[in-house]
Structure formats: structure tokens, C-alpha cells
Structure 1
Amino acid sequence: MISTKILYKAVLKKDQVDDSHTFQPLPSPTGSYPYRLDLKPKPDNPNPQAMVFHMVGDTGGFKQPQLQKEIASQMAQQYLQASCPEERPSFLYHLGDLVYHFGEAGQYEDQFLKPYESYPGPIYAIAGNHDTDVNPNSAEHYEPLEAFYTAFCNTCPATIHFGTEIKRKSQVQPNVYWTMESPLATIIGLHTNVPKFGCIKKEQQDWFIKELKHAAKYSSEKAIIICMHHAPYSADVNHGSSKAMVEFLEASFAAAGVKPDLIFSGHVHNYQRFTRHFPDGKTLPFVVAGAGGFDELHALADPEEPGYQTENELFDQVILENYCDNKHGFLKIAIEKTPFKFTIKGQYYTISRENHENNDQEARLFDEFTVDLTGR
């Protein structure tokens, strides 16, 4: 028998169910419009033209808690073992789904607060579908995103009341969708709500278009990065690509006349790196990093199977460059700007699923990529 290697690519599931009724209303912002948080340079960093940060998604879960602890531990080790201050991550940016399966306050201590108590740096986040959803069987009434707001959208750093003896204070993000203004990057965080393939209403889209235009004014000095929970492109068996998110991005880019430099997402429990080549010459990486700890990983789909569609104009010039669907992992992102170069470098690290109880194991570098912004 002659075996043929499967050529994996972005897919759309043919049996998509309309679950738009699961959309949850958003709480009022805790900060003022346009919901920007200014991130000052680290005082101990002798090189203000270099910035490093971690990124991970879908870290929650309760079946194998050691997995999320190991991911958090490996990122903490990279922070503590950095050879110099400029190589030490400034923060961790979470891509959503800190807890499963609903965003109840009672889930945060075991699934997020305790595992990430060991992470030495600040943690920022966008909310995932599970963080946003409300448990209909909960004995106590709570509002959508109530616990997420307590942990991440407080008006000042405060003790998180549902964390027993947890030292980490609440974050001060101004809204559930918000922009981080850092010295080397404008990071726009979207909220894609509960439906399986995401849903963003007009109010947020109008804000997003204005934020893209604003970011473009400083693009010679700062990279433009988008973070969203639902993955626009995916080749996996469980979700596949999100037509709604691809169309949202396409329409927003056209309205703003601006495209970002990099798009990160979670939701799909694996690692995938796509590139999209636009007619104007822009090449835009789409990186899925949703293997942060939930026990179930999502395998890639055979595109020849009858349940998937691969021929769609949304997939024109979309290429799957690399993937890992059998190990958990996280990203380390480095941005560097000198008189001669301006780059974003990404590294994806994995841990062995079989040996996750071995606390001495080291995360292994699986993939590297570079986005060159030199000359802009």
C-alpha cells in the first residue's frame, strides 16, 4: 500500500450550527473610551527598543490540572532564568478561556489563580467564550463576565475576593475589548463572545476600525498586533475556520484602510501558524495558540473528508506554515527596533504530554517565525 502524506489546510465545517442565541450582553466599561491602557517601559530594562512577552490561550480545565501548572511553570522559569533584563518577559497576554466550562468565580482559584501564582510578571487577558458564558444551573445568579471583570477590569489593583491567599492583585484593563499601548506595539484585544464561531456587534467593530486607524499613525514606531479568542483560520476537526471572524476582519481592514502585522487567537486547542497573502502585497501571519492547558487537544482534519470544505474564496492565498496538534505549549514574542531593523520574532515552546508530571522537564522550542517591519 502506498501511503500519501495529508496536505493540511484551513477548513470550514459543513455542519455548522447557528448558536447565535448564546451571545451574551457585555458589561459597562470600567475605563473611559477609547479603552486604552498605557504600558510604561520597564524601569530595569536598559534597552527601551526591545520588548519580550509571553502569550498563551485556553489554559483552564479540571481533568488534568497538572497540565496548566506545567505550562505556567515553564513560562515562569523563562522569566526567572532570563540572562539579562531586556530578555525578561514584560508580561503574559492571555488569549482567553482561563476557566471551563462557564465563567463562574468559583472556577478561577483552581483553574487560573493558583496555577499562575508562580508567574512573576503581570498578566493581561481577553475573555474567551467559556469565560463569558453563564452556567444555567448555577445555584447563585451572576452576570456574564462578572468574575472576569473582577480579575481583569477593576478600576484599581485590588485583592481578588475569590482567591484564597492569592497575592496577585486584579488587573486594571478598561473594558472587555481594549487596547494596550506599549512602547513598541499597539496590541488591540477583541472580544468575540460565546457563539462557537464568534460574534462581534457593530459597536465593537466601529471601535476596532478607529483603533486600527489610530495605530496606523504610529506604525513607523510600533507594531500593530490583534488578539482575539476565536481563530479566523483553522485546520482542526473540532472547530475549523470561522467564516464570521474572517469576514469581520476583512470588512474592518477595508473600512480602516489598515492591516495589522500579526493576529493571535486561541479557542482551538493546538498550535497553528498560517500566512495570508493579500493582493496589495501584504503578508499577514495568523497564529493559533490555544494549547495552554485544557486536557483535550484538537487534531487536524483530513481536508478530503466529506464533512469539511476547503474551496472557498476566504481561503485564497492562505497557507498553513506549521502546526503542532499533539503537545501543549505557549508563545514567547520578542519585538526589537534599532536604526537598522524592526522585527517581531515568535517562538513556540511545547511540553511533553506523557511526562507532564515531571517538573524538571524543559519546554522545547518547536517553531520560530519572524515578521520583518524594517523600513516602515
Structure 2
Amino acid sequence: MPDNVRPRRFSADVPDRQGTQINRLHSKFSTQPFRPLPRPTGNPPYHLELAQVLPADVMQRMIDAKKMVFHTIGDTGGVKNPADQQLVVNHMENDLQATDPVDRPAFFYNLGDVVYFYGEESEYYAQFYEPNSHYAAPIFAIPGNHDGDVQDQSVPSLQAFVTNFCAPEARIAPSSGDAPRDTMTQPNVYWTLDTPFATFIGLYTNVPEGGALDATQISWFHSELSQAPTDKALIVATHHPIYSGDSYHSGSQYMDGILDAAMQATGRIPHLVLTGHVHNYQRFTRQYNDKPITYLVAGSGGYWNLHSMLPAIKHPPTPIEFPYPMPDRPDVSLNMFSDDRHGYLKMTVTPDAIQGEYYTVPRIQESWSAPAALLDQFNIPLH
């Protein structure tokens, strides 16, 4: 083969479409390089208190009720077909109208890929501000690979994300147009959200498929795990998933190793791992040192192209029963999935448990007025 001809890549770079591989080592390509991180806008260790964002009466009501409700989902950017994203947001807005104020989600935690395809500032109005113009709660976020990738090499990676989510102080976002929303004041693109009942450690897993972290962020992650309060829920959020039974991306052995090394070094085990990137919903449970960890794939927030599950999972010779032990990872079981509807998670955290509800929304060709359908419910005890 001539030196200037590169071999084509096929099966080694996609999941085994006939098998049940949920966790693999991804190839690295020059088209998805590690992008340098922007300078933090806040001070280390990059914490933001929920009380700095929510009104005092809302915080007090939450504390008195001993209950915090929030939304989470990723891959929300409505490029090509904005109706899918809008359907999800419309049903999330309905939750904000709950009769009892303590049942209303206090915020939305976005799991990345806010704007497709290259994180452009010019896309923030169409893919973020206008669709969320009536979502009357704060929106936090970690970046996804599409937020950090750049097509125009003169624009620094994550420049628009920092402008809109990591502003030094809250102000009306320049891109919000006729849907005015304050910029968020997150201190960095990887950061920790402190709340009365849960600690959210958000990692930025960069552009390469399967994720990539530099030594500084890994060290910070270990420190955050070590110092996280032990009397409340511990939630880790990343964009790239650790486990996924889809036929497009699969989970990441690299990110699995990052989390395992951190747990071994610190002795801290998260109760919940939130991820996106794969455009569907999946719930896994892993047994780690005789303790269960819940892993969620929640990338069905609005991007038009949903990702199907592997045929061996979706169309097996005999129907699978949940929980379904994964053949390639006997310590991991699949509990539920949905790959044919967009949807979102509504989470409730108390001093004793994390309770999750995953709702699917109607397809575009169905009635917009049809209610969201509860697909999955789960409970994660904290003690």
C-alpha cells in the first residue's frame, strides 16, 4: 500500500452490531482532536452554590420540605428538526406548573451538546434560548463534544459555551434575542454544583470519541470526590457514557477507567452517574464492591436522530427480562431502555434517596397535546 494511502476503518471503530458490547476502547481520529480548555472564569475548586442562583424563598421551601426536584437530559440541540427539542421542553414546562410548589423542578441540568454542530454562538438563539423561552427555571450545563468542537479554527474551543454558561456575572445573554435569559455563572467548564441534598460533580469529557481528560481535570476530580460531603447524594455527570447498548457509539472503556481509578483512589462511590451523547435512554446498575451504582444514558433531549439499541438487545431470539445481565460485563445489568421516543428525566432527591422518573414525549406526527408517558421509575437508597 502506498505511504500516502491510509487503510479504511470499519468494524473496529463501531460497536458490534450483532453482539451486546456496551463498553469498548474507541479509536482516536484527527478529526476529533483533544481541544484545549478555556481559562476558568471562577476560582478553584470551581464550586457554585445553588443558593447563589435560586431565590431565597424557593431555597427555604426546598429545605423545609426536605426535597429537591430537578430535570436532566442531554443532546438537546434542535438542529435540522427543532420540533423534537420543543416537544421535550414543552412537557418539561408542564412539570413547572405542579400544584404543590415543592414538586416543581428547581432547575434543569443539561448533559451536553447544547448546540450543534460546532458550538457556534450564532446557533444559541435557535437551539437554546428560543426553545427554552418559557422554561421558568435556571439551566445549568456541562459541555458536550459538539459544544467543544470547532469548525472555524480561529474561534477557541467552547468560547460560546463560556459566554453563555460561565459568565463572571449574570446578565442578559447577547444571543437571547426576544427570549431574554440571564447567562449562567458557572465557574468553569468542569465544576461542582452544591445543593442542600446532592453534590453534582460535572466533568467535561472533551471532543474525542469515548472522552478525554487532561491531568489537571483528573486531579481535580479525585479531589472533588474526596471532599464531597458524605451526608448527601453524590452525583457524577459526564457527556460521554460509560455503558451503552446502542449500535452507534457504545460506552467508553476509557471513561470507565477514569471513574474506577478515582473511586479506588478516594474510596468514594457515586450514587448516580449521569451521561448523554447516545441519543436514547438507558438505565444500568453496576455492582461495585458489593454496592450498586446507577448509570443513566440520557441523550434523548431533542437532537433529531435517535440511536437504536443493538439488535441482540432490541430484537433478541427470545425476549430479555429486566434486569438483564450484560454478557460482556457480568457486573453490569440493563434495567430499562427507550430508543424510539425523545424524553427527559425528572429527579427527586431527599435525605434518604434519589428517585427517578423517565418520561417519553409524543412523536412529531402524533398529537402535540398528548401527555408525556412515564416509562421508567427507580429508587436509589442513600443509606
Fold in common (TM above 0.5): yes
Classify the secondary structure of the residue corresponding to 2:163: helix
Match of 2:83 among 42, 46, 66: 66
Q: How does 1:221-370 map to 2 (within 5 A)?
A: 222-278=232-288, 280-303=289-312, 312=328, 315-337=329-351, 342-355=352-365, 358-370=367-379
Show CA shifts across 1:249-279 (max 9, x none).
111111111111100000000000000001x
Q: Identity of aligned pairs, percent?
A: 40
Q: For 1:94, give the aligned amino acid.
A: N
Q: Distance in 1 between matches of 2:287 and 2:143?
A: 29
Q: How does 1:27-106 map to 2 (within 5 A)?
A: 27-40=38-51, 43-44=57-58, 45-48=60-63, 49-80=66-97, 82-106=98-122
SS in 1 for 2:376: strand
Given that 1:226 and 1:262 are in contact with CA atoms closer than 8 Å, whether structure 2 keeps it comes out as yes
Q: Deviations over 1:303-360 (max 9, x none)?
A: 599xxxx765xx24111111001100000000122xxxx010000000122445x332
> Where in structure 1 are there 5+ consecutive unaligned residues?
1-5
Query: Residue 116 of structure 1 aligns to a residue in which SS?
Result: coil
The one-letter amino acid paired with 2:298 is A
CA–CA distance in 2 between the matches of 1:7 and 1:344?
34
SS of the equivalent of 2:217 reads: helix
The residue that corresponds to 2:142 in the other structure is 126
Task: Give ranges in structure 2 of 5+ residues lacking alignment.
Answer: 1-16, 316-325
C-alpha displacement of 1:114: 0.5
What is the RMSD of the two structures over their aligned residues, measured on CA atoms? 2.1
Residues 129-187 of structure 1, C-alpha deviations (whole Å, 9 max, x = no match): 00000014x7xx32110100011000101121122223101000000000000000000
Choose the corresponding residue for 1:143, options 130, 148, 156.
156
CA distance in 2, matches of 1:212, 1:13: 25
Matched-pair contact (CA < 8 Å) for 2:282–2:337: yes
**Given that residues 9 and 320 in structure 1 are in contact (C-alpha distance below 8 angstroms), is that contact kept between their aligned partners in structure 2?**
no
Please give the alpha-carbon distance, in whole angstroms, between the structure 2 residues aligned to 1:56 and 1:12: 21
1:202 alignment counterpart: 215
Is contact 1:13–1:239 with CA below 8 Å preserved after alignment?
A: no
In the alignment, is the contact (CA less than 8 A) between 2:241 and 2:255 conserved in 1?
A: yes
Which of 171, 186, 190 aligns to 1:173? It is 186
Question: Structure 1-normalised TM-score?
Answer: 0.88
- SS of 2:96's equivalent? helix
| 8 A Cα contact 1:9 1:319, kept in partner | no
| AA partner of residue 125 (structure 1) | A
Q: Tell me, what secondary structure is at the counterpart of 2:303?
A: coil
1:274-316 Cα shifts (integer Å, max 9, x gaps): 00001x21100000100000110001113599xxxx765xx24
1:115 has 2:122 as partner = no
User: Residue type of the partner of 1:79?
Assistant: L
SS in 2 for 1:367: strand
For residues 10 and 331 of structure 1, the distance between their equivalents in structure 2, rounded to whole angstroms, comes to: 25
Equivalent AA in structure 2 for residue 194 of structure 1: V
* Whole-Å separation in 2 of the counterparts to 1:108 and 1:65: 13
Asked whether the 8 Å contact 1:51–1:335 carries over to 2, the reply is: yes
Q: TM-score, normalised by structure 2?
A: 0.87
Task: Output the CA distance in 1 between the equivalents of 2:165 and 2:83.
Answer: 24
Q: Distance in 1 between matches of 2:194 and 2:19?
A: 36
- Tell me the CA shift for residue 10 of structure 1: 4.6
CA distance in 1, matches of 2:172, 2:365: 35
Structure 2 contact 166–183 (Cα < 8 Å) conserved:
yes
Whole-Å Cα distance in 2 between the matches of residues 13 and 229 of structure 1? 16
Shift of 1:83: 1.7
C-alpha distance in 2, partners of 1:19/1:163? Answer: 35
Cα distance in 2, alignment partners of residues 83 and 224 from structure 1 = 29
Number of aligned residue pairs? 349
For the 8 Å contact 1:8–1:300, the answer to whether it is kept is no
Relative to structure 1, is the Cα distance of residues 224 and 212 closer, same or farther in structure 2, using a 3 angstrom cutoff?
A: same
